[in-house]
Structure 1
Amino acid sequence: MSAFFTIFLFLLPIFLLLVRRRSLPKGVPPGSLGLPLIGQSIGLLRAMRANTAEKWLEERIKKYGPISKLSLFGQPAVFIYGQAANKLVFASDGSTISNQQAKSNQMILGDRNLLELSGEDHKRVRGAIVSFLKPESLKQYVGKMDAEVRKHLEMHWQGKQRVTVMPLMKTLTFNIICGLLFGVERGIRREKFVARFQEMIEGIWSVPVNLPFTRYNRSLQASTKIQNMIKELMKEKDVELEKGASPHQDLITCLLSIRGKNNEVITEKEIVDNVLLVMVAGHDTSAVLITFLVRLLANDPDVYAAVLKEHEEIAKGKPSGEFLTWEDLAKMKYTWRVALETLRMFPPVFAGFRTVLKDIEFEGYLIPEGWKIFWATSMTHMNNSIFPEPTKFDPTRFENQASIPPYCFIPFGGGPRICPGIEFARIETLVTIHHLVTRFKWKLCHTDNFFSRNPTPAPTGGLPIEITSMNLM
């Protein structure tokens, strides 16, 4: 009996695979769905960690052509790339392609955030979030962000001879999120948020096996705990609003005040799910960008000198100790072009998914209803016909952004689905770089330029550097 059961378990995956292959619709792209549940997930994750993910995709293109089927994180998908593919992904009106993520990610981040909503629901919730994240609103938070950066540098950089950049940038960006978006002050609550958040984010790009002790299972448990913490925050801020608190003091309060005007504008679950999404989107992405900027400035003396000159001129025109202003940020044009070129070469988000709501045709192939579309950022970022000499770091590419073809530079997405937090990320990056270059000099402890993706890019050892204070401010 035990031998029969062993043979049954061995043959079951093969049987399921044959059934899936037999039931595939006609006209789907070439490729393989691989083993049930696993598919090509492990291969992709290994390639990302080894920094060979672009090569992994290029090999698929050589083998199957410009469009191919595969299975990732338990669901069938079609890999597409190029300007037309990006336009299909980002310009869809929501009737044929949805922004819905893999079911495994929905279980972690919820099903009522901007990644999952479409049509009128997406416009309604996006409008509520943009009311806080639009430039006109964010102007008043430049000083608060400046204060967070100064506090961070005093605690973790000042007086040190060596620091590790990436974990410190993650600490900084999470503190900024907690302070400006959630209104959570430094202390035990912030520390709990950090611990739970790290557990949650580790499971977003993992094989979705929900068994005890798996990364995915730990992520689900951490997500539940964070959701409960957010609900507690919402109750407290509801009370503060009733007592006359400003609705603009943080994102949660802003969303609660909108809900208070009309309960149909945004629901409690939508607030919770979108707070989770903002935590993920605003944490690793900005930390990655600033970390790679620090590495770049250490490797490129000419770019460093130009950035330093721009910020020294701003610093000299300000009284000692005075916070940066919106007008100061407007003078940091070269620094932001450097940041955009960094995003082109090292996009924090390597790839993403969309869900096909009804059968569509692309490049002569059928993409069936219910399948995922898998797209990768670097496929246009590193395309020589779009960005000449793509491996060369050249901030002048962004002197005239209108010259860049639409849907080719997509670190923030594009079209109606473009990230609403672009301006927040710009302020965060510029304020941080300003204080770093005017207060410190640094050199890299590792000279290699390797990085792995797990899932976001991380340099060797988290980028340890030796620092000396400049004492210019």
Structure 2
Amino acid sequence: MNILLAVFLFLIPFLLVLRRSRRIRTSKRTPPGSLGVPIIGQSLGLLRAMRANSAEKWLEARVRKYGPISKLSLFGKPTVFIHGQAANKFVFTSDDNTIANQQTQSIKMIMGERSLLELSGHDHKRVRDALVSFLKPESLKRYVEKMDEEVRKHLELQWEGKQQVKVLPLMKTLTFNIICSVLFGLERGKERDQFLTCFQEMIEGMWSVPINLPFTRYNRSLRASARIQSMLKDLLQKKRMELEKNAASPRQNLMTSLLGKLNEDDTQVMTEKEIIHNIKLVMVAGHDTSAVLITFIVRHLANDPSIYASVLQEQEEIAKNKLPGQTLTWEDLAKMKNTWRVAMETLRMVPPIFGGFRKALKDIEYEGYLIPKGWQIFWVTAMTHMDTNIFPEPSKFDPMRFENQASIPPYCFIPFGGGPRICPGYEFARIETLVAIHYLVTRFAWKLSADNGFSRDPMPVPTDGLPAQIWPRKLP
């Protein structure tokens, strides 16, 4: 008995330590906040705030109430909202065993489950490498002339002889035409016009509550996505036959490039479904983001004469060294340093991409809280872009912030994401933006007819499409 008592007394401290450690492990709790009503959660509140251009304030109110990490429910899934430089680094650098790239259910269903937004690990690397081989600067150099031709044709048809335009709809038409020409060689005509109509319907419901009823935006977008997919499949078949007959080369456009990517055993690197889903992704990325960026540059140039004068001076220096009808070159784009700084500052203040989602693949401890396996992780671009500790006087438009980009802390300026998942279309967007701004400022002057701010749906949309009065400039 004395021996048993001694053993028991000896084990008590260990039992207490074990109990305490269990209590510590099980006391890890999910972040503060509420998941709200099932399926809907806080989705409608966020969407309303985005359309009122108050989404950042909506999130800041959450931060004041719950702190830097909180839980909510968005687009049908439990979600943890995190923000700041450390949060951005965590999102963009965590390995594929910890978190995976995952969008909302609406984006997944509209874009497709085999798009780069949904893939991880080896599949992500395989598909990304295939896209990057076409979208890298060395490859895109040969398409500057084609983009130049599309911009000049667009201005000739849509701007010349006009006294007033709505900038955003025209920029969306321009970027869509560039995509059709460069990415899959679809020339102007009825087929391209049908693509545009379906495409515009498809992207309307990408951020929406995933309730598939006939009267919802989500339903309309799903049906438009199915039509786009069918059209791309037919076009893919034509390109495959052209390649087989040597009537096209793998370098001709993105579609032929992806079809021409073969493994050592002559099988295609990407499946047909992957090619279609990722062409839809590149279409969305190259269409909306660039159109929004160009539109907001036009808006700012109209409101800031000194910035406008500096951009005009740089572009006129390039224009005066060109012969009539001569297109811009890769070397010309390299000289547009000030114009691209203006674009970067525009991206800082009005990032086209509001934020994004990741999925926790296992229970994660973050900032002392538990992010349960399967939950969404929600990050927001503008939270660091407008942080006074990172960008002094963040509401002031100052392109010189980007004169020395090395001075900007990493994972703080993230309009194109960061780390291994940075947007592969970054260079494509840079080229079409610089070419468009070059011809806009050298051929036209403008003033805004009205500037009543903008909303998000989910990208920034100026009120009434940014109407502007325009008149021709004399070429140097």
If the length of structure 1 is used for normalisation, what is the TM-score?
A: 0.93
Q: Structure 2 CA distance, aligned partners of 1:25 and 1:358? A: 17
**Which residue, 451, 455, 460 being the options, matches 1:457?**
460
For structure 2, the 5+ residue unaligned runs are: 1-25
Q: Is 2:41 the partner of 1:39?
A: yes
**Which residue, 352, 355, 371 being the options, matches 1:351?**
355
Q: Which residue of 2 aligns with 1:293?
A: 297
Q: Which amino acid aligns with 1:403?
A: S
**Which residue, 44, 69, 90 being the options, matches 1:88?**
90
Q: Percent identity?
A: 71
Residue 213 of structure 1 deviates from its aligned partner by 1.9
Tell me the secondary structure at the aligned position of residue 464 of structure 2: helix
Residue 26 of structure 1 deviates from its aligned partner by 5.2
Residue 46 of structure 1 deviates from its aligned partner by 0.3
Q: Is 2:453 the partner of 1:420?
A: no
Q: Structure 2 CA distance, aligned partners of 1:104 and 1:165? A: 28
Q: Which residue of 2 aligns with 1:117?
A: 119
Tell me the secondary structure at the aligned position of residue 166 of structure 1: helix
Q: Is 2:244 the partner of 1:253?
A: no
Deviation per residue, 1:311-339 (Å, 9 max, x gap): 00000011111000000000000000000
8 Å Cα contact 1:25-1:368 kept in structure 2: no
8 Å Cα contact 1:360-1:367 kept in structure 2: yes
Q: Which residue of 1 aligns with 2:13?
A: none
Tell me the secondary structure at the aligned position of residue 352 of structure 1: strand
Q: Structure 1 CA distance, aligned partners of 2:249 and 2:125? A: 25
The within-5 A match list for 1:268-347 is 268-347=272-351
8 Å Cα contact 2:356-2:379 kept in structure 1: yes
**Which residue, 403, 410, 414 being the options, matches 2:407?**
403
Q: Structure 1 CA distance, aligned partners of 2:338 and 2:28? A: 52
Q: Is 2:192 the partner of 1:199?
A: no
8 Å Cα contact 2:260-2:268 kept in structure 1: no
Q: Structure 1 CA distance, aligned partners of 2:386 and 2:63? A: 15
**Which residue, 375, 389, 395 being the options, matches 1:371?**
375
Tell me the secondary structure at the aligned position of residue 414 of structure 2: coil
Residue 471 of structure 1 deviates from its aligned partner by 2.9
8 Å Cα contact 1:76-1:372 kept in structure 2: yes
8 Å Cα contact 2:451-2:463 kept in structure 1: no
Q: Which residue of 1 aligns with 2:137?
A: 135
Q: Which residue of 2 aligns with 1:5?
A: none
Residue 25 of structure 1 deviates from its aligned partner by 9.4
Q: Structure 2 CA distance, aligned partners of 1:307 and 1:153? A: 19
**Which residue, 157, 161, 166 being the options, matches 1:159?**
161
Q: Which amino acid aligns with 2:191?
A: R
Deviation per residue, 1:97-151 (Å, 9 max, x gap): 1001122321111111111111111111100001100000000000000000000
Tell me the secondary structure at the aligned position of residue 59 of structure 1: helix
8 Å Cα contact 1:382-1:390 kept in structure 2: yes
Deviation per residue, 1:135-186 (Å, 9 max, x gap): 0000000000000000000000000000000000000000101110011111
Q: Structure 2 CA distance, aligned partners of 1:122 and 1:270? A: 11
Q: Structure 2 CA distance, aligned partners of 1:268 and 1:54? A: 39
Give structure 1 regions of 4+ aligned residues with deviation exceeding 3 angstroms. Answer: 259-262
Deviation per residue, 1:410-448 (Å, 9 max, x gap): 000000000001110000000000000000000000144
Q: Which residue of 2 aligns with 1:183?
A: 185
Q: Structure 1 CA distance, aligned partners of 2:467 and 2:106? A: 34
8 Å Cα contact 1:196-1:225 kept in structure 2: yes
Q: Which residue of 1 aligns with 2:436?
A: 432
Residue 263 of structure 1 deviates from its aligned partner by 2.1
Q: Structure 1 CA distance, aligned partners of 2:219 and 2:471? A: 43
8 Å Cα contact 2:106-2:207 kept in structure 1: no
Q: How many residues align?
A: 449
Residue 259 of structure 1 deviates from its aligned partner by 4.0
Deviation per residue, 1:4-41 (Å, 9 max, x gap): xxxxxxxxxxxxxxxxxxxx995100000000110000
Q: CA RMSD in A?
A: 1.2
8 Å Cα contact 1:259-1:267 kept in structure 2: no
Q: Which residue of 2 aligns with 1:220?
A: 222
Q: Which residue of 2 aligns with 1:102?
A: 104
Tell me the secondary structure at the aligned position of residue 200 of structure 2: helix
Q: Which residue of 1 aligns with 2:14?
A: none
Deviation per residue, 1:65-103 (Å, 9 max, x gap): 110000000000000000010011111221111001122
8 Å Cα contact 1:31-1:69 kept in structure 2: yes
Deviation per residue, 1:364-403 (Å, 9 max, x gap): 1000110000111000000000000000000000001011
8 Å Cα contact 2:454-2:462 kept in structure 1: yes
Could you say which structure has the larger radius of gyration?
Answer: 2
Tell me the secondary structure at the aligned position of residue 208 of structure 1: coil
8 Å Cα contact 1:442-1:465 kept in structure 2: yes
Q: Structure 1 CA distance, aligned partners of 2:193 and 2:139? A: 28
If the length of structure 2 is used for normalisation, what is the TM-score?
A: 0.93
